[in-house]
C-alpha cells in the first residue's frame, strides 16, 4: 500500500494523478487528509482516505499501519514544521512503514549564512531524522517550483515592464511542480531507490536578466531587470504596503539566488522522467499566453 500525505494539495494530488497514469491500481493508493468529507470531492472515490494531521502523532500512527511506501510531502506551516516532521518520522517508524519518500529542497554548501535558512534547516533536520530512523528512504531534493517564479516577477510585470528583485546576476534551475510530482510517482511505482538522495532540478540555469528577455520576446514589450540593494528593495515594498512576511520571503530567496543556492543544474530528474523537464521559456510562454 502507498500512502500520500498532503493528498489534496498541489503536490500530493499531482502524485496521485501520476501514479494512476503510470498504471498503479487505485486500490493500492491511500491518502492522508485533514477532512475526509472535503477530500472526497477532490480525490477518486476508490482511494482510501485516512484522516490525520502532522500535529497528532497518535492518529498518524493509526493511519500509517499497513503502509509499505509513505510519500511524505513536507508541511507548509514554517513555524511548526520541526515538531510536525518529527511526528511523521516517529510515527512511520513505530507503525512499521517500510519505505519513506520525502520532499526536501536542493542545497549547496556555502560559506556564508543561507538566505533561506528558515526553509533549509527543517529539511536538513528531517533528512537526518529519516536516516537515523532505520527506515529505508528516498530523499527528493526538489528545486524551486517553476510555478512560483511569477510570484517573484510580480503580477503586473508585463504592464510595468520591470523585474525588481535583489538577486544581482544569480541564477536558478526551477522545475514545474507537476514534473517533480511525476518523478515522485515514478519512484513510488518502481524499485531500486532505497537509501538514495536525488537532486531534482533543471539542467539549464536562468537569471532574471534571462527571464526579462524571454518576457520581452513573448510580449513584444521591453522588460528590464533591476537589482536594488536589499534595503532599497525593502523600502520600496513597504511603501506599497506589501506584508512583512512576503518581503522577508522575497529577500530570502533573492539572497539565496545571489549566493548561488538556487542554481544546481542536474540531469537526475531528466533520467527519472525519461525526458528533459520543461524549460523556463516554455513554461513562461504558457503562463503569459
Tell me what the pLDDT averaged over the chain comes to: 93
Give the pLDDT mean for 267-280.
95
Predicted local distance difference test score (pLDDT) of residue 110: 64
- Element at 225 (helix H, strand E): strand 224-226
Which residue in this structure is represented by grid cell 534595503?
Answer: 231
Band of the pLDDT at 38, cuts 50, 70, 90?
confident
> Is residue 213 classed exposed, middle or buried when 0-12, 13-18 and 19+ CB atoms within 10 A define those classes?
middle
Predicted local distance difference test score (pLDDT) of residue 58: 95
Give the pLDDT mean for 17-33.
94
Which residues are CB-contacts of 257 (< 8 A; sequence separation ≥ 6)? 115, 165, 167, 170, 171, 172, 263
- Residue 144 to residue 176: CA distance in whole angstroms: 8
Which residues are CB-contacts of 3 (< 8 A; sequence separation ≥ 6)? 30, 31, 32, 50, 63, 64, 67, 69, 70, 71
Give the pLDDT mean for 164-173.
96
Predicted local distance difference test score (pLDDT) of residue 44: 85
What is the CA 205 to chain-centroid distance, rounded? 18
Domains, the chain: 2-141+176-200+265-277 (3.40.50.720)
pLDDT at 98 over 70: yes
pLDDT at 65 over 70: yes
Percent of the residues in the chain that have a pLDDT greater than 90, as a whole number: 82
Per-residue pLDDT of 185-241, as tens digits, reads: 999 999 999 999 999 999 989 999 999 999 999 999 999 999 999 999 999 999 999
Predicted local distance difference test score (pLDDT) of residue 111: 59
Give pTM, 2 decimals: 0.93
Band of the pLDDT at 129, cuts 50, 70, 90?
very high
Q: Which of 258, 250, 256 is nearest to 233 (CA)?
A: 250
Residue 79 or 46, more confident: 46
Give the pLDDT mean for 151-160.
92
pLDDT at 112 over 80: no
Predicted local distance difference test score (pLDDT) of residue 11: 95
- Element at 32 (helix H, strand E): strand 29-33
How crowded is residue 84: how many other Cβ atoms within 10 Å of its Cβ?
A: 21
Amino acid at each position: 500500500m502507498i500512502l500520500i500525505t498532503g493528498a489534496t494539495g498541489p503536490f500530493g494530488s499531482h502524485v496521485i494523478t501520476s501514479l494512476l497514469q503510470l498504471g498503479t491500481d487505485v486500490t493500492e493508493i491511500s491518502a492522508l487528509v485533514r477532512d475526509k468529507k472535503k477530500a472526497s470531492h477532490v480525490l477518486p472515490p476508490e482511494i482510501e482516505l485516512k484522516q490525520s494531521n502532522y500535529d497528532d502523532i497518535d492518529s498518524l500512527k493509526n493511519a500509517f499501519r499497513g503502509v509499505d511506501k509513505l510519500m511524505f510531502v513536507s508541511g507548509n506551516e514554517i513555524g511548526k514544521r520541526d515538531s510536525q516532521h518529527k511526528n511523521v518520522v516517529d510515527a512511520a517508524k513505530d507503525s512499521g512503514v517500510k519505505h519513506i519518500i520525502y520532499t526536501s529542497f536542493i542545497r549547496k554548501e556555502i560559506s556564508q549564512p543561507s538566505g533561506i535558512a528558515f526553509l533549509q534547516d527543517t529539511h536538513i533536520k528531517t533528512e537526518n531524522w529519516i536516516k537515523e530512523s532505520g527506515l529505508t528512504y528516498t530523499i527528493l531534493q526538489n528545486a524551486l517550483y517553476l510555478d512560483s517564479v511569477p510570484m517573484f516577477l510580480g503580477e503586473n510585470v508585463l504592464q510595468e515592464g520591470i523585474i525588481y528583485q535583489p538577486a544581482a546576476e544569480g541564477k536558478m534551475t526551477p522545475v514545474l511542480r507537476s514534473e517533480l510530482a511525476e518523478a515522485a510517482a515514478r519512484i513510488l511505482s518502481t524499485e531500486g531507490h532505497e537509501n538514495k538522495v536525488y537532486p531534482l532540478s533543471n539542467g539549464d540555469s536562468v537569471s532574471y536578466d534571462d527571464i526579462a528577455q524571454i518576457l520581452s520576446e513573448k510580449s513584444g514589450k521591453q522588460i528590464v531587470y533591476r537589482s536594488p540593494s536589499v534595503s532599497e528593495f525593502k523600502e520600496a515594498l513597504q511603501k506599497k504596503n506589501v506584508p512583512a512576511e512576503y518581503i522577508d520571503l522575497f529577500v530570502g530567496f533573492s539572497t539565496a539566488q545571489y549566493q548561488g543556492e538556487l542554481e544546481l543544474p542536474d540531469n537526475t530528474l531528466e533520467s527519472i522522467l525519461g525526458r528533459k523537464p520543461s524549460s523556463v521559456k516554455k513554461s513562461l510562454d504558457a503562463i503569459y499566453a
